[in-house]
Structures are given as structure tokens and as C-alpha cells.
Structure 1
């Protein structure tokens, strides 16, 4: 059947000559024929829509750069039905439709977010302890002389740590001269207490609850989860990049899950019970910090503990309610030990000042 208004032009991609062949088609494909010879057979599925040109519809071939086929006029139905459609958004979207593609992408995005948020919980238990120790050593090393070693202070802290560490975890607990009310667990079983927290505490019993909480995070291997969640997988995949200050700030900014915080509180309360240290003092410490937050506002650097360890009435009541009447409690430290711990930084003439860029 002849189609007088149907026009065909063709470039073979080699000579640059515009040819005007006849298109001989069948179900499988077509052949272009003119007085110079023929090109084909070419399968319909080998064509790629290139868009319009001068009113004609243009196609190329997947494996022949420069090859072009232009069709103009009224394209016969038996040919038009076999031609590939122009891509408007891209192959995948054009095949299933824009709205279906958007819905599919939303499902995939939701899955990716779920995996990213859940990945730290799966990955952290498999991080080698040797890597955790190296990362912790790097962060601790970057404190650069800000750890305090006033007479008797470290010995008192070590004694308190032993009381609250019944599982004999390999811990290293130090006090750093940093003007924040905070304590933080680092990778590799390292815990740092900022001296401002000691100044705000009224007794060793209050510090015992905070230290027991951080030991609970170490015991439950929460530290790497928090670091992975905050700093990203680059911590593991990138290894020791030298940005230990960034990792430290990530830990300060990190928040543990509600379950992890509750588990760390439970571990602290259990350790204090075994050591016969009353949890009531810790409850009072939390209540006092909460009152300070309301009076000073969240911007106060002295209350950094509140941002990394959100307080609530439930946590305060949890410690208070676990005081047992049938236990003969004893002070967490003697008076002399407590005074040495509180003054561990002020009695150390060699300790450096605040952390500068840490915690900002």
C-alpha cells in the first residue's frame, strides 16, 4: 500500500550523505532501500527515539552513533505501531507512567531511610573491639593535656569505677577540664567526666549515678551505634581520617534511643544497688539540673548534659523509686576521696584550660 504523504530520510553515520530511501517493513523490522543499496534488516527494538526535527520524527540506532532515520508526514499505522515512543522522563518512568514511578520511588526512599536509621544497630555489634580502641585512643589523645591529675583524684575515681563495674569491663575513666556539665562514653571503653559536672554535684553518690549510666552504655555497646548514627558510615568505611575532634563533637551531639537510655539507667541502678550506693542522690541531681534548665535556658553551656542525656520526670522518679529500705547504704566515696575528686583539676597545676573548639 502506497502512502504518498509519508516521507523517509536517512543518514548511515558514515558518509554524511542524506539519503531518501524506501522503508520496507515487516513484523520483525525493516530495511531501507535506494539506488545506492540497502541498510538492514533492522529490528524495531533497535531504534531509539531522538525527538522531532523540522516536523519529522527522528530515530537513532543503539549501536551505531550518527545513524539517523527521519519519518515525516502521515506515518502508516502498521509502522507507527511498532516504533518506540519518545522518552519524556526516562526509560523506567515512561514504561510504567509518572505516578506509578513516583509511588515506587517513595517506597524505595522509605526503605532506604529505614535501612540507614537501622543500620547502626546491625553494624555496631560487629565493629572489631580493636578498631573501637584505636578510635577511642585517637579521641582521647586529642584532649591534649586537659586531663586532670590532682593528688588523690584519679585514685578516688578508679575506686568508684571498680565499685560500679562488677563485670570488670576494661574501662578507662578520666576527668577533663571542660566547662560543661557532662560525661561521655567514648569508643573502646573510655569514659570522660567533665570537671564542671563534679563542681555542680553535691556528693559522690550523685556522680556515681552518672558514671554508672555511662558504664551501662559501654556494657550495652551503645557508643558505636550513637557515633555511626551521628557521624555516618564514614567512621567505619573511611577509617581513621584524623578528624577525631569531629567524632568527639558527634558523640556530644548524639542522642541514644529511648530504649538505650532506659537500659543504661537500669544498669546504673543495678550497679549502685550491688555497691550499696543510694540512687536517691542521683534523682536529686537530675531534679536540680532540670530546675537549672528552666532558669537558665537551654543555651547555657553548663547544661550540656541535658542535650545529650535528655532528662524527664520519669528518669528522676526511676532512680528515686529504686531506693530500698532494707539496704544499709554507704557513701560512694569517703569525704577525703570526694574532696580529692572534686579538686582533681584545680589541684593540678599542669592541666590546660578549656577545650577550645571541642563541644562548640
Structure 2
């Protein structure tokens, strides 16, 4: 099979029922802090439009914070509330749709400053309402779905994680009981947006403080963890790993997205250094970038239907035309991820 034939796997249409996409390439959410006072401007519009017009099947925006006092620690992270910010996002959505793209916002709360143990049940109810309101705003703006950020040690994940959730009420306890906050958020968002609006949940096993951490140590435990989230209304799982090619559990080559799809039967998105020859943290820990890498293994896994969609981060950050270059076998034109390339971004 030649290159043009094999790579077409990435460019097959996707139809989940609630979400139809022209291909399998997803732009990963990447925080940039380019929205002063939380308002995305014309530069943000142009940034997302460029990726959409260059063949990305689905854009997941950078994290957009909910209307809650502790949701953000940066004045330049975009909001999913307030007239100015919502107008800014309306312009983004229109621009992406104008070039035939699809886009969903990642809805985010950065997390408790300490532990989630300090929240009262009334505090939690207010948080749930704020997530639901952000989901409703997204639907009213014309977004094609939403993604809830439940990974990487942020608020929803802080409830998942036993090191940060030592509550003794209904929001704490064993691994399944620690999903209750997420379940309430998902259910509230589902009520807000209705039955036909796609809800994606991003989750991870690893934490910024411990890359080897696992919420679920075995497939059986992962199944128990995922089941209440599925029941609550998740349509697609975005399974965050540092390197998509690494197995999640011993005795199987499946990665986290592969196991999640196998256990739930739902579509999954894989992510983790796609198209690059080093994982994303090396840029921050060692100050080095990454070269472009072959994607043969990725294509083989999609062909086997281990997962459905492929989330691309850094490669798309530095090269808006990455998807089209891959499709057209212009790999010699791909821009490597370096600090120099980042200076000329967007």
C-alpha cells in the first residue's frame, strides 16, 4: 500500500450520530493565554480559522473557564461567560464554520487552590450550575459540542484523584464514589444542552506531579471508573496520554483510548506526541523541541479500530497546514516544533 492510500485512513469521515466530521484529525486543546481579560479577539479568530481551512476535522479550543471566582489563575485565559467573551467566541465559531470546520470549546475550571475537601455541598452545587451554564452558552453560540476538562489535575480530576479528594461525604470515598462530582457536572450539562448535543470528556491517568500515576491500575478498575461517566451522558472520551504508542496496562498493546473504547463501546480520541519524535514535556523540562515523526503506527491502530479520532497538539500549533501536508504527502514541508517556530506562531 502506498503512502496516499494508507494515509487516507486519517481522512475517512467520522459519524458518531451526534457529531459528523470530514476526517479523523482533531486539534488538541492548547492553552495560549492570548485573550486579554478573558476575551478572544481577532487574532484568536484567525488562529482557529487557519487550522480549520487547512483540513482539521475538529477543533477543540484551548480551555475556556466557567463563571466561578476560582476558575482561572490568569487574566488572559478565555472565558465562556460575559458578553464580550461570548461575542468573541461567536466570531470564532462563525469563522471556522465559514471554511467548513467543526469546533467545540473545552470547558474548564483550573481547580481548588488546595484540596476539594474544602468545598461545601452548596459550593459544589454552584460549580455544577456554572459548568452547565457554560455548556448552554456554547450551544447557543453555535459550537458543535463541548468538551469537559476532567484531566491533568484540574478541578474535575481533583475529585477523581484520591490524593486531592479525601472527602467523607457523597463526593468522596472509593474510586467510583469519587466520580460523583463529574457525574453531576455531566448530567447538568446534558440537561442544559439536550439529548442531541455532543459531550466529550477529557480524562487522564497521569498527573503533572506524577507521570506514572494511574487512577485505575487495571482494566477492571478502569471499567468501574468509566461506567458512571458513560451513564451520565458522555458521548466521546478524549484519553490523554503523553505518548500515544505506549500500552496502558501490561499484557496488552492497547493504549488508554484503546482500552476505553473496548470497555465502553464509545468512540475515543487518542492523543500524545502525535507526529513528533519526543513527548510534549521535553520542551518544558529540557528546553528542546521535537522533530516530525512518521505516523505509520498511528494509522495501523486506526485501521484496527482501536480508537476513532486522533488529537494533534504541538504539530498543529507550529504548522496550521499539518493536516493538509500529511494528506498530500508534503511531509518534507512540515514545520518542526522548536522555540524558534513558536516565535512566529499563530
Q: TM-score range by the shorter chain?
A: under 0.3
Q: Give the TM-score normalised by the residue count of structure 2.
A: 0.22
Over alpha carbons, which structure has the higher Rg?
1
Q: Give the TM-score normalised by the residue count of structure 1.
A: 0.21
**Of Structure 1 and Structure 2, which has the larger fraction of its residues in helix?**
1
